[in-house]
Amino acid sequence: MIVLVNPRATRPGNRRFPLSVMAIGAALPAGTSWTIVDGNRPGVDSAADIDALIRQQAGSPDPVSAVGMTVMPGPQLPHAVAIAKAVKARHPTVPMIWGGNFPSLYPQPVLNAPFVDWVVRGQGEQTFAELLDVLRGERDPKTVPGLAFRTGDEEWTGPERRWVGPDQLPPPPYHKIEVQDYLRPTFLGSRSGVYQASIGCPYSCSFCGVISVYGSREKQEAPERTERHLRFLAREHGMNGVHFYDNNFFLREDHALELAQRMTPLGLHWWCEARVDAMLRFDDRTWRALRRSGLRMVFFGAESGSDEVLRRMAKRLTTGQIEQVAARALAHRIIPEFSFVLGDPHEPRRELDNTLAFIRRLKGIHPGCEIITYLYTPTPQRRGTYGEVDPLSGTPDTLEGWIEPEWMGWMTHEDPRVPWMTQDLKARIDDFRLVLRSRFPSIHDTHTRRWGKQVARWLAARRWRAGRYDNPRLLRAVHRLAQIPTPDPQGYGHLRPEGAS
């Protein structure tokens, strides 16, 4: 038996299908038994459950032969470290395998961990399956692309594996999970789920970690396959909202139009990520079809209010294009969700002023647009790094170091301790965020008392008109009294709790 683990990454109320470990399990050789331990479900003690499974299967014809764990940077990492340590201490002979974005981006500290035996880098389905041959003594581990390991003083990192698109992989094995347990209420619907219809991204934005795992490439699955899987979830399980996990949902207009036409009869409301320039190329017929199909919100990486900074990011966008897509979204009754990366290493104060002013312009064009801001964190890249910062310089070489508060703040973009982002700039960002979400309550916010929203909006209106954000003490007091939840850094898009903005 293979135990596949999805360590806790969010609170149980935000749990979603564990797609990564589902994909690994689906690709295992025929006849391989496997199960999922998902730490995001309520009441789950992952280490205890894995321990119980290993003990239960010991001496049976199907003992646990490996524990595989998916690990993302950020909140999931400390849980993964704790689980791996506990399981390895109790069962030192059971191989511990790590895969996912964290070991793909930062393999060295994982290789240095005595409680991790094998590291799967990049797309893991085929690598994991071939690793099982290694564990049975049937294959030399150095012949497996995408595999890294340490034996004594020897360290081996194999070549990258050529990855494949969704159509070349098995369908999601929904029979291996309790689907009903993962359909949660969001603004999209009372029973929202998640899905991924493509892998990778063809662009090369210099701050993004996706291209360090997949390169500047993307492969989409056929619209017919997407429709088939979503129809199953809608008809068999009552799913009425879907969040697409794709890093970039739209590549070609004909593909987008076909998918919209196929999704329309399903009655789903949906959310996705897209490029500003890609959607600007779509004609109005396609925008109308997407709206009819249930598209309600699109996440756009706007990133900056400065054309100069956008060029430095290799974003290949202009602020004018971002304004245009806001206007078209308004015309077609679609909510754009714009993200901004704050903290340019070259001119942090000037860049911040430019971006805050630009956000004000976007709100003038589309008052209902949602705004998400992150503090810039350097990420390892294949070709250089935005701002000419070496992202691995000084980073921890142990997993214990990575889960210290300093590096957790770096990974979550909440408090990256970079020299150009001073405390006064962080305070200005916090004050702006508070005024912004007070003046424009988020569509996600269904829990805040009505009086709190009204009072906060009224108090913020004058500040917003005057462009004054400094030290909004009265707004903070109103938010506390109205019990307005603070934004959840562990969720984004519709995954944020309904009370967040």
* Alpha carbon distance 289, 256 (integer Å): 9
Tell me whether residue 436 is in a domain. Answer: no
Residue 6 shares a structural domain with residue 58: yes
The pLDDT, as a whole number, for residue 76 is 95
415 falls within a domain: no
Residues 347 and 295 in one domain: yes
- Show the beta-strand stretches assigned E in 402-462: none
Structure tokens at 384: 């250089």
Q: What is the pLDDT of residue 216?
A: 67
Under-50 pLDDT residues of the chain: 382-389, 490-501
Q: What is the pLDDT of residue 232?
A: 98
Inter-residue contact 187 to 494 (CB < 8 Å): yes
Instruction: Tell me how far apart the alpha carbons of residues 260 and 88 are, in angstroms, rounded to a whole number.
Output: 47
Question: Are residues 148 and 187 both part of a single domain?
Answer: no
Give the pairing of strands 241-244 and 269-274.
parallel
Q: Are residues 144 and 197 in the same domain?
A: no
Among 369, 392, 415, give the residue marking a domain's end: 392
Question: What does the block give as tokens for 215?
Answer: 């390169």
Q: Where does a domain end: 109, 131, 152?
A: 152
Distance (Å, whole) CA 132 – CA 97: 11
Is residue 468, in this structure, part of any structural domain at all? Answer: yes
Contact 209, 380 (CB under 8 A): yes
275 and 381 in a single domain? The answer is yes
Cα-based angle 243, 249, 255 (whole degrees, multiple of 5): 120
Q: Are residues 499 and 360 in the same domain?
A: no
- Strand, helix or coil at 12? helix
Could you write out the DSSP letters of every residue in 90-156?
H-TTS-EEEESHHHHH-HHHHHT-TT--EEE-SS-HHHHHHHHHHHTTSS-GGGSTTEEEEETTEEE
Burial classification of residue 152, based on how many CB atoms lie within 10 Å of its CB (0-12 exposed, 13-18 middle, 19 or more buried): exposed
Q: Select from 20, 17, 14, 24 the least CA-distant residue to 174.
A: 17
Residue with tokens 């996600």: 444
Beta-sheet strands, E only, within 328-431? 335-342, 370-375
9 lies in some domain: yes
In a domain, 19, yes or no: yes
Q: Decide if 50 is inside a domain.
A: yes
Cα 420 from Cα 467, distance rounded (Å):
24
Q: Taking Cα atoms as reference points, which of 178, 191, 179 lies closest to residue 238? A: 191
Question: In the chain, what's the furthest Cα-to-Cα distance?
Answer: 72
What domain range is 207 assigned to? 183-392
> Based on the number of CB atoms within 10 Å of its own CB, is 283 exposed (0-12), middle (13-18) or buried (19 or more)?
exposed
Which parts of 170-209 fold into alpha helices (H)? 179-182
Do 144 and 229 share a structural domain? Answer: no
How distant, in Å, are the alpha carbons of 241, 491, 500 from that of 446? 17, 16, 8
Q: What pLDDT score does 386 carry?
A: 47
Q: At what angle do helices 319-331 and 348-365 cross, to 10 degrees?
A: 20
Q: How far apart are CA 338 and CA 326, in angstroms?
A: 9
Report which DSSP code applies to 39: T
Domain of residue 287, CATH code: 3.20.20.70
CA distances (Å), origin 2, targets 53, 54, 83, 365:
10, 10, 16, 53
Residue where a domain terminates, one of 392, 407, 430: 392
- φ/ψ region of 6 (left if φ > 0, alpha if ψ in -120 to 50, else beta) reads beta
Q: What is the pLDDT of residue 497?
A: 40
Q: How many domains does the chain have?
A: 3
Is residue 194 domain-shared with residue 147, that is, in the same domain? Answer: no
Helices 473-481 and 423-439 pack at an angle, to 10 degrees, of: 60
**Could you tell me if residue 66 is inside a domain?**
yes
CATH number at residue 72: 3.40.50.280
The verdict on 361 and 485 lying in the same domain is no
For residues 291 and 383, membership in a common domain is answered with yes
Residue 106, in any domain of the structure: yes
What single-letter DSSP state applies at residue 75?
A: T
Lay out the sheet containing 295-303: strands in order across. 184-186, 189-195, 241-244, 269-274, 295-303, 335-342, 370-375
Please indicate, yes or no, whether residues 13 and 82 belong to a single structural domain of this protein: yes
Q: Which of 9, 172, 14, 3 is nearest to 494 (CA)?
A: 14
pTM exceeds 0.95, yes or no: no
SS3 content of the chain, % helix, strand, coil (to 5): 45, 15, 40
Where are the extended beta strands (E) located within 310-355? 335-342
Q: Are residues 141 and 192 in the same domain?
A: no
